[in-house]
Amino acid sequence: MTGNVATGSVGALAVPRHQRTVAGGSGTVVAVSAGQRVHVVNTLGHQVVDTWALSSDAERCLSMSHTRLAIGRISPRAGDVLVDDRRQPMLRLVEDDSLGDHDTLIPACDAQRYRSLGYQGQHASCADNYAAVLTSLGMPNQRLVPDPLNLFMAVPVSDTGELTLNPSLAPAGSKVVFEAVRDTLVIVSACPQDLVPINGADSEPRLIDLYLEDRAPSHRRYVRVELHVLLA
Ligand SMILES: [Zn+2]
Protein backbone atom coordinates (compact mmCIF):
# COMPACT_ATOMS: atom_id res chain seq x y z
CA MET A 1 0.00 0.00 0.00
CA THR A 2 2.85 2.30 0.79
CA GLY A 3 4.18 1.71 -2.71
CA ASN A 4 0.87 2.70 -4.28
CA VAL A 5 0.70 5.91 -2.31
CA ALA A 6 4.27 6.77 -3.20
CA THR A 7 3.72 6.09 -6.89
CA GLY A 8 0.62 8.27 -6.94
CA SER A 9 2.43 11.07 -5.20
CA VAL A 10 5.29 10.90 -7.66
CA GLY A 11 2.91 10.99 -10.61
CA ALA A 12 0.91 13.90 -9.21
CA LEU A 13 3.99 15.97 -8.42
CA ALA A 14 6.09 15.13 -11.45
CA VAL A 15 5.23 18.38 -13.21
CA PRO A 16 8.24 20.13 -14.70
CA ARG A 17 8.56 23.67 -13.42
CA HIS A 18 11.67 25.16 -14.98
CA GLN A 19 12.22 24.96 -18.71
CA ARG A 20 15.22 25.75 -20.87
CA THR A 21 15.48 25.37 -24.65
CA VAL A 22 18.90 24.37 -26.00
CA ALA A 23 19.47 25.31 -29.63
CA GLY A 24 20.59 22.56 -31.99
CA GLY A 25 24.36 22.32 -31.93
CA SER A 26 24.78 24.12 -28.61
CA GLY A 27 25.19 23.13 -24.97
CA THR A 28 24.25 24.16 -21.47
CA VAL A 29 24.46 23.10 -17.83
CA VAL A 30 21.87 22.73 -15.09
CA ALA A 31 22.46 22.27 -11.38
CA VAL A 32 20.34 19.39 -10.09
CA SER A 33 20.04 19.00 -6.34
CA ALA A 34 19.96 15.60 -4.65
CA GLY A 35 16.55 14.07 -5.29
CA GLN A 36 15.66 16.57 -7.97
CA ARG A 37 14.73 15.44 -11.48
CA VAL A 38 15.75 16.79 -14.86
CA HIS A 39 13.91 15.92 -18.08
CA VAL A 40 15.88 15.82 -21.34
CA VAL A 41 13.26 16.17 -24.06
CA ASN A 42 13.86 15.33 -27.72
CA THR A 43 11.39 18.01 -28.70
CA LEU A 44 11.54 17.62 -32.47
CA GLY A 45 12.85 14.04 -32.53
CA HIS A 46 16.00 12.32 -33.81
CA GLN A 47 18.43 14.57 -31.93
CA VAL A 48 21.43 13.03 -30.18
CA VAL A 49 22.22 14.65 -26.83
CA ASP A 50 25.72 14.22 -25.44
CA THR A 51 25.34 14.24 -21.67
CA TRP A 52 27.85 14.57 -18.83
CA ALA A 53 27.49 14.92 -15.10
CA LEU A 54 29.91 16.37 -12.59
CA SER A 55 29.85 16.47 -8.83
CA SER A 56 29.12 19.95 -7.56
CA ASP A 57 32.85 20.44 -6.80
CA ALA A 58 33.73 19.03 -10.26
CA GLU A 59 36.06 16.49 -8.63
CA ARG A 60 34.12 13.50 -9.98
CA CYS A 61 32.42 12.82 -13.27
CA LEU A 62 29.87 10.40 -14.58
CA SER A 63 31.82 7.46 -15.99
CA MET A 64 30.58 5.33 -18.86
CA SER A 65 33.03 2.48 -18.25
CA HIS A 66 32.17 2.28 -14.55
CA THR A 67 28.46 2.58 -15.35
CA ARG A 68 28.59 -0.24 -17.90
CA LEU A 69 30.00 -2.55 -15.25
CA ALA A 70 27.55 -1.32 -12.61
CA ILE A 71 24.48 -1.95 -14.78
CA GLY A 72 25.83 -4.98 -16.64
CA ARG A 73 24.91 -3.59 -20.07
CA ILE A 74 26.31 -1.17 -22.61
CA SER A 75 23.17 0.99 -22.62
CA PRO A 76 21.25 2.16 -19.54
CA ARG A 77 17.54 1.56 -19.04
CA ALA A 78 14.92 3.05 -16.78
CA GLY A 79 15.68 2.02 -13.22
CA ASP A 80 19.44 1.95 -13.69
CA VAL A 81 21.76 3.94 -11.44
CA LEU A 82 24.64 5.60 -13.27
CA VAL A 83 27.89 5.95 -11.33
CA ASP A 84 30.89 8.24 -11.26
CA ASP A 85 34.58 7.48 -11.78
CA ARG A 86 34.83 6.30 -8.18
CA ARG A 87 31.88 3.94 -8.60
CA GLN A 88 29.55 6.09 -6.53
CA PRO A 89 25.89 6.57 -7.55
CA MET A 90 25.30 9.85 -9.35
CA LEU A 91 22.13 9.74 -11.45
CA ARG A 92 19.14 7.43 -11.53
CA LEU A 93 17.46 7.01 -14.92
CA VAL A 94 13.85 7.05 -13.78
CA GLU A 95 11.90 7.41 -17.03
CA ASP A 96 12.58 6.75 -20.69
CA ASP A 97 9.84 6.85 -23.31
CA SER A 98 12.23 7.05 -26.26
CA LEU A 99 13.10 3.80 -28.00
CA GLY A 100 15.91 3.30 -25.52
CA ASP A 101 18.85 3.88 -27.84
CA HIS A 102 21.49 5.46 -25.60
CA ASP A 103 25.11 5.01 -26.59
CA THR A 104 27.98 4.78 -24.10
CA LEU A 105 30.74 3.79 -26.55
CA ILE A 106 31.30 6.77 -28.83
CA PRO A 107 33.32 9.83 -27.76
CA ALA A 108 32.08 13.39 -28.09
CA CYS A 109 32.52 14.89 -31.54
CA ASP A 110 35.40 17.36 -31.72
CA ALA A 111 37.38 19.44 -34.20
CA GLN A 112 39.51 16.50 -35.29
CA ARG A 113 36.43 14.38 -35.94
CA TYR A 114 35.08 17.00 -38.35
CA ARG A 115 38.49 17.39 -40.01
CA SER A 116 38.65 13.65 -40.53
CA LEU A 117 35.25 13.84 -42.19
CA GLY A 118 36.61 16.42 -44.62
CA TYR A 119 35.20 19.57 -43.11
CA GLN A 120 37.24 22.70 -43.76
CA GLY A 121 37.18 25.41 -41.11
CA GLN A 122 35.72 25.68 -37.63
CA HIS A 123 32.79 23.38 -36.91
CA ALA A 124 30.82 23.41 -33.67
CA SER A 125 31.36 20.27 -31.59
CA CYS A 126 30.14 18.61 -28.43
CA ALA A 127 33.68 18.72 -27.02
CA ASP A 128 33.79 22.50 -27.54
CA ASN A 129 30.32 22.86 -26.00
CA TYR A 130 31.52 20.91 -22.96
CA ALA A 131 34.63 23.06 -22.67
CA ALA A 132 32.58 26.25 -23.01
CA VAL A 133 30.31 25.15 -20.18
CA LEU A 134 33.29 24.44 -17.93
CA THR A 135 34.75 27.84 -18.78
CA SER A 136 31.43 29.44 -17.84
CA LEU A 137 31.68 27.64 -14.49
CA GLY A 138 35.16 29.03 -13.89
CA MET A 139 36.97 25.81 -14.79
CA PRO A 140 38.62 26.65 -18.11
CA ASN A 141 41.61 24.32 -17.87
CA GLN A 142 39.84 20.96 -17.92
CA ARG A 143 41.44 19.40 -20.99
CA LEU A 144 39.96 15.94 -20.63
CA VAL A 145 36.47 15.46 -22.05
CA PRO A 146 34.90 12.45 -20.32
CA ASP A 147 33.12 9.91 -22.47
CA PRO A 148 29.55 11.21 -22.74
CA LEU A 149 26.31 9.36 -22.35
CA ASN A 150 24.93 9.84 -25.85
CA LEU A 151 21.22 9.99 -25.27
CA PHE A 152 18.97 8.95 -28.17
CA MET A 153 22.00 7.78 -30.21
CA ALA A 154 21.58 4.50 -32.07
CA VAL A 155 24.84 2.54 -32.17
CA PRO A 156 23.99 -1.14 -32.62
CA VAL A 157 26.74 -3.67 -31.96
CA SER A 158 26.72 -6.68 -34.29
CA ASP A 159 27.22 -10.26 -33.15
CA THR A 160 30.82 -9.96 -34.34
CA GLY A 161 31.41 -6.66 -32.52
CA GLU A 162 31.12 -4.12 -35.33
CA LEU A 163 29.65 -0.71 -34.49
CA THR A 164 27.24 1.14 -36.76
CA LEU A 165 26.22 4.78 -36.39
CA ASN A 166 22.53 4.82 -37.29
CA PRO A 167 20.13 7.76 -37.51
CA SER A 168 18.41 8.36 -34.20
CA LEU A 169 14.90 6.92 -34.11
CA ALA A 170 13.85 8.87 -31.00
CA PRO A 171 10.33 10.21 -31.58
CA ALA A 172 9.48 13.89 -31.29
CA GLY A 173 8.58 14.70 -27.70
CA SER A 174 10.24 11.60 -26.26
CA LYS A 175 12.28 12.11 -23.14
CA VAL A 176 14.65 10.71 -20.58
CA VAL A 177 14.29 11.72 -16.93
CA PHE A 178 17.17 11.57 -14.46
CA GLU A 179 17.00 11.92 -10.70
CA ALA A 180 20.15 13.17 -9.02
CA VAL A 181 21.39 10.88 -6.27
CA ARG A 182 23.44 13.79 -4.95
CA ASP A 183 24.02 17.40 -5.96
CA THR A 184 25.10 17.22 -9.59
CA LEU A 185 25.88 19.45 -12.54
CA VAL A 186 24.30 18.00 -15.66
CA ILE A 187 25.83 19.20 -18.92
CA VAL A 188 24.18 18.55 -22.27
CA SER A 189 25.10 19.22 -25.88
CA ALA A 190 22.55 18.97 -28.69
CA CYS A 191 25.09 17.36 -31.00
CA PRO A 192 25.95 19.57 -34.02
CA GLN A 193 26.91 16.60 -36.19
CA ASP A 194 25.62 17.28 -39.71
CA LEU A 195 28.13 15.27 -41.75
CA VAL A 196 27.12 11.82 -40.50
CA PRO A 197 23.36 11.15 -40.23
CA ILE A 198 23.18 10.36 -36.52
CA ASN A 199 20.74 13.24 -35.94
CA GLY A 200 18.12 11.74 -38.21
CA ALA A 201 18.39 10.91 -41.89
CA ASP A 202 18.50 14.60 -42.86
CA SER A 203 21.55 15.25 -40.61
CA GLU A 204 19.91 18.37 -39.24
CA PRO A 205 20.73 19.29 -35.62
CA ARG A 206 17.59 20.24 -33.73
CA LEU A 207 16.75 22.00 -30.50
CA ILE A 208 16.02 20.12 -27.29
CA ASP A 209 14.31 21.16 -24.07
CA LEU A 210 15.30 20.65 -20.46
CA TYR A 211 12.81 20.69 -17.63
CA LEU A 212 13.91 20.84 -14.02
CA GLU A 213 11.38 19.72 -11.43
CA ASP A 214 11.06 21.34 -8.08
CA ARG A 215 12.31 19.56 -5.00
CA ALA A 216 12.04 15.81 -5.16
CA PRO A 217 8.87 13.98 -4.28
CA SER A 218 10.96 10.83 -4.00
CA HIS A 219 12.64 12.13 -0.87
CA ARG A 220 9.26 12.22 0.77
CA ARG A 221 8.74 8.64 -0.35
CA TYR A 222 12.01 7.56 1.25
CA VAL A 223 11.10 9.33 4.47
CA ARG A 224 7.72 7.65 4.45
CA VAL A 225 9.26 4.21 3.95
CA GLU A 226 11.77 4.82 6.72
CA LEU A 227 9.04 5.86 9.13
CA HIS A 228 7.01 2.82 8.13
CA VAL A 229 9.98 0.58 8.88
CA LEU A 230 10.64 2.28 12.20
CA LEU A 231 7.01 1.98 13.29
CA ALA A 232 6.89 -1.66 12.26
ZN1 LIG B 1 28.50 15.74 -31.07
pLDDT digits (tens, 9 = 90+) for 122-166: 999 999 999 999 999 988 777 789 999 999 999 999 999 999 999
CA of residue 97 to ligand 1 center, whole Å: 22
CA of residue 189 to ligand 1 center, whole Å: 7
Kindly tell me the sign of the dihedral angle through the C-alpha atoms of 124, 129, 131, 136.
Answer: positive
Per mean pLDDT, which range of 46-50, 52-56, 108-112, 222-226 is the poorest? Answer: 222-226
Instruction: Please state whether beta strands 27-32 and 89-96 pair in parallel, antiparallel, or not at all (unpaired).
Output: unpaired
Rounded CA-CA distance 193/203 in Å is 7
Average pLDDT over residues 84-103: 97
CA of residue 207 to ligand 1 center, whole Å: 13
CA of residue 108 to ligand 1 center, whole Å: 5
CA of residue 109 to ligand 1 center, whole Å: 4
Q: What pLDDT is attached to residue 145?
A: 96
CA of residue 146 to ligand 1 center, whole Å: 13
CA of residue 42 to ligand 1 center, whole Å: 15
Residue 2 has pLDDT above 70, yes or no: no
CA of residue 215 to ligand 1 center, whole Å: 31
CA of residue 161 to ligand 1 center, whole Å: 23
Rounded CA-CA distance 96/99 in Å is 8
Q: Are 213 and 36 in contact (CB under 8 A)?
A: yes
Average pLDDT over residues 176-184: 97
**Residue spans per domain, the chain:** 14-224
Q: What pLDDT is attached to residue 20?
A: 94
pTM over 0.95: no
CA of residue 48 to ligand 1 center, whole Å: 8
Residue in 28, 34, 58 with CA at minimum distance from that of residue 144:
58
